[in-house]
């Protein structure tokens, strides 16, 4: 079971995030799944496949060439957690200018609860903006 | 509960909730490696001295800091804790002056535990949310 859960995690990262395949969301995410992903100042949970696909479109609209690599993974018969490195290009529209692509590099840890081959619940801590946003805000701690 | 998982709870209880700095020497290898706590450049923090500096600064900023361990997962060699961090920003220690604001954010830490001490730790805490709650950053993708 542990190996199967790890395989689901690897497939999720590769197909959903690196390739943007929404059909894999339908296949692997339970329709009643809850995902806690810190992408908004207010705590908002993602419920189910449709909300997740919408979230995926938002992020993939902001970032291009997303490449997530699993660096470390821990799994038991029900839970999987992986530490991942992330590279992507972020598109930003400059004042008085056109869009520019800014390379971003960051990392994250994600936990999934998997039952009967479906992702039931997930928590992700990935700084989707990369550390550069903190730097440009003058925050360095 | 496995011994190592107990140690993980002990780490958060003693080091962070009880704010006992001496517990760092008891639980952390002198040449330990910490990822994810070294600031916006992503520097790796090494050893107990660097960690103590981070610990002092964070507790100075949030004297009432409380960490709740929500879940622990292990495969026998690596251990992971998913946590919620709460506190009030009433002291110096961050690059911004005390705001008096409450913070609540989540994080996950993965560690390798060998010979009774943590030797390498990967941290991903939602410091973006923390700085947003302190009014430094504005996050809204909608």
> What is chain B's Cα-based Rg?
15
Interface test with B, best of A43, A79, A81 (most B CBs within 10 A): A81
Interchain CB contacts (distance < 8 Å): A and B: 113
pLDDT in tens, A103-117: 888 888 999 999 999
Answer yes or no: is pLDDT of A41 > 60.
no
d(CA B15, CA B121): 15
The encoded tokens of residue B16 equal 């962070």
A139 part of a folded domain: no
- DSSP assignment of B84-127 equals EEEEE--SS-SSS-----EEEEEEEEEEEEETTEEEEEEEEE-H
User: Which residue range forms the structural domain that includes residue A106?
Assistant: 2-126
A137 part of a folded domain: no
Number of domains composing chain A = 1
Cβ-defined contact of A125 to B136 (cutoff 8 Å):
no
d(CA B84, CA B105): 6
Cα A23 to its chain centre, rounded Å, is: 16
The whole-number average pLDDT for the span A3-7 is 94
Cα A96 to its chain centre, rounded Å, is: 32
pLDDT in tens, B73-110: 988 788 999 999 999 999 998 889 999 999 999 899 99
A117 part of a folded domain: yes
A140 part of a folded domain: no
**Of A37, A56, A15, which Cα lies nearest the Cα of A110?**
A37
**Of B62, B84, B85, B60, which Cα lies nearest the Cα of B71?**
B84
Contacting A residues, span 35-74, partner chain B, CB-CB under 8 Å = 36, 38-41, 58, 62, 72, 74
The encoded tokens of residue B103 equal 């913070």
The whole-number average pLDDT for the span B16-25 is 96
Cβ-defined contact of A40 to B74 (cutoff 8 Å):
no
pLDDT in tens, B108-129: 999 999 888 999 999 988 888 8
The CA distance from A113 to the nearest CA of chain B, in Å, is 11
Q: What are phi and psi of B15, to 5 degrees?
A: -70, -45
Cβ-defined contact of A139 to B40 (cutoff 8 Å):
yes
Cβ-defined contact of B110 to A123 (cutoff 8 Å):
no
> Could you tell me how many helices (H) and strands (E) chain A has, helices first?
4, 6
Q: Which residues pair with B87 in a beta bridge?
A: B103
**Of B116, B117, B97, which Cα lies nearest the Cα of A139?**
B97
CB atoms closer than 10 angstroms to residue A123: 21
Among chain B residues, CA nearest to A131:
B40
The CA distance from A135 to the nearest CA of chain B, in Å, is 6
Domains and CATH numbers, chain B: 3-133 (3.10.450.50)
**ipTM for this model:** 0.75
CATH number at residue A88: 3.10.450.50
Please check whether residue B30 touches A, CB under 8 A. Answer: no
pLDDT in tens, A49-92: 999 999 899 888 888 899 999 999 999 889 999 999 999 988 77
Please check whether residue B125 touches A, CB under 8 A. Answer: yes
The encoded tokens of residue B133 equal 């709650």
d(CA A12, CA B98): 41
A133 part of a folded domain: no
């Amino acid at each position: 079971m542990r190996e199967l859960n790890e395989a689901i995690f690897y497939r999720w990262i590769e197909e959903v995030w690196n390739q943007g395949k929404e059909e894999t969301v339908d296949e692997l995410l339970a329709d009643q799944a809850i995902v806690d992903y810190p992408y908004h100042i207010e705590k908002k949970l993602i419920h189910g496949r449709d909300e997740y696909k919408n979230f995926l479109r938002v992020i993939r609209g902001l970032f291009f060439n997303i490449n997530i690599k699993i660096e470390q993974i821990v799994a038991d018969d029900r839970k999987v957690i992986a530490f991942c490195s992330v590279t992507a290009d972020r598109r930003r529209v400059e004042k008085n200018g056109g869009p520019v692509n800014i390379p971003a590099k960051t990392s994250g840890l994600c936990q999934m609860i998997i039952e009967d081959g479906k992702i039931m619940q997930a928590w992700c801590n990935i700084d989707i903006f990369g550390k550069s946003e903190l730097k440009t805000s003058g925050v360095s701690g | 509960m496995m011994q190592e998982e107990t140690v993980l709870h002990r780490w958060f209880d003693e080091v962070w909730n009880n704010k006992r700095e001496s517990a760092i020497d008891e639980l952390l290898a002198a040449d330990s490696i910490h990822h994810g706590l070294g600031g916006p450049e992503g520097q790796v923090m090494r050893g107990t001295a660097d960690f103590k500096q981070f610990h002092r600064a964070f507790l100075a900023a949030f004297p009432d800091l409380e960490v709740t361990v929500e879940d622990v997962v292990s495969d026998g060699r690596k251990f992971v804790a998913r946590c919620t961090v709460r506190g009030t920003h009433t002291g110096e220690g961050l690059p911004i002056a005390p705001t008096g604001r409450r913070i609540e954010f989540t994080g996950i830490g993965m560690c390798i535990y060998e010979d009774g001490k943590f030797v390498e730790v990967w941290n991903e805490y939602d410091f973006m949310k923390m700085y947003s709650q302190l009014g430094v950053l504005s996050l809204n993708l909608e």
